[in-house]
Amino acid sequence: MRKERPKHNLNLYVRSPQLRLVGDNVTPGIYENRQAQQMAIDQNLDLVEISPTANPPVCKIIDYNKFLYEEKKKQKANKSHQTELKELRFTPNTDDHDLEFKIKHATKFLSEGNKVQAKVFFQGRNIVHKDRGELLLLRLADRLKDIASLEAMPKLIGKNMFVIFSPKKKNS
């Protein structure tokens, strides 16, 4: 099993004869490579090349694993949440208990910032009960009115009647 090479040059892999050291536990300035290496060894930390393209390269004396952890944490915080469209499926004969169960799921999805599409699927002769499907979707909309806004009234397309809920903005 082969170990991956780190993203940054560490310790002995820092090759430049002179380095600009920055960080909390050193006096910022330009140091010889050997001197910087010795400072890192004395502190039981790593010499990490932060900016290899600078002249001279910028290095820090830090714990490399902690540095990677902090970097990963920053990247995670910078990623914005992408809104997904979650789907809930019903039939015109959906029972009250099943509706409650689906409302819990819809609430969870909306609280995570996702949109929810509620769809009533009409099989076979159930298409004659369009009013039941519309009533079901309007009951769902009424139950979710505190946390979600209805984008449009129920629409029938083919054998499906659907509505889309989007989460309400939270007041800070």
> How many domains does the chain divide into?
2
Q: What is the domain range of residue 154?
A: 85-167
pTM flag (> 0.75): no
- Determine which helix (DSSP H) or strand (DSSP E) holds 116, and give its type and residue range: strand 115-121
Could you say which DSSP state residue 79 is in? Answer: S
pLDDT at 172: 41
pLDDT at 65: 85
Could you say which DSSP state residue 53 is in? Answer: T
- 133 in Cβ contact with 99 (< 8 Å): no
Name 43's Cβ contacts closer than 8 Å, sequence gap at least 6: 25, 61
Report, in angstroms and rounded to the nearest whole number, the Rg of the chain calculated over CA atoms. Answer: 29
Q: Which two tokens stand for residue 37?
A: 């290496």
Q: Is residue 135 part of a domain?
A: yes
Pick the last residue of a domain from 45, 77, 109.
Answer: 77
> Do 64 and 97 belong together in one domain?
no
pLDDT in 10s for each residue of the chain, 172 residues: 556 666 777 777 777 888 888 877 788 888 888 888 888 888 888 888 888 888 888 888 888 888 888 888 888 776 666 678 889 999 888 888 999 999 999 999 988 888 999 999 988 888 888 888 889 998 999 999 889 888 888 888 888 988 999 988 765 4
> Do 17 and 55 belong together in one domain?
yes
Taking the C-alpha atoms of residue 80 and residue 100, their distance in angstroms, rounded to an integer, is: 31
CATH number of the domain encompassing residue 53: 3.10.20.80
- The partner residues of 148 in beta bridges, in order of sequence, read 167
Q: Is residue 1 part of a domain?
A: no
> Do 66 and 93 belong together in one domain?
no
Pick the last residue of a domain from 50, 77, 104.
Answer: 77
- 109 in Cβ contact with 147 (< 8 Å): no
Taking the C-alpha atoms of residue 96 and residue 39, their distance in angstroms, rounded to an integer, is: 70
> Do 29 and 97 belong together in one domain?
no
Q: Residues 132, 102, 159, CA angle at the centre, nearest 5°?
A: 40
Phi, psi of 146 (to 5 degrees): -75, -30
Contacts 24+ apart (CB under 8 A), 10-16: 10/46, 10/47, 10/48, 10/49, 10/64, 11/37, 11/40, 11/46, 11/47, 12/37, 13/49, 14/47, 14/49, 14/57, 14/59, 16/56, 16/57
Q: Is residue 62 part of a domain?
A: yes
Pick the last residue of a domain from 34, 50, 77.
Answer: 77
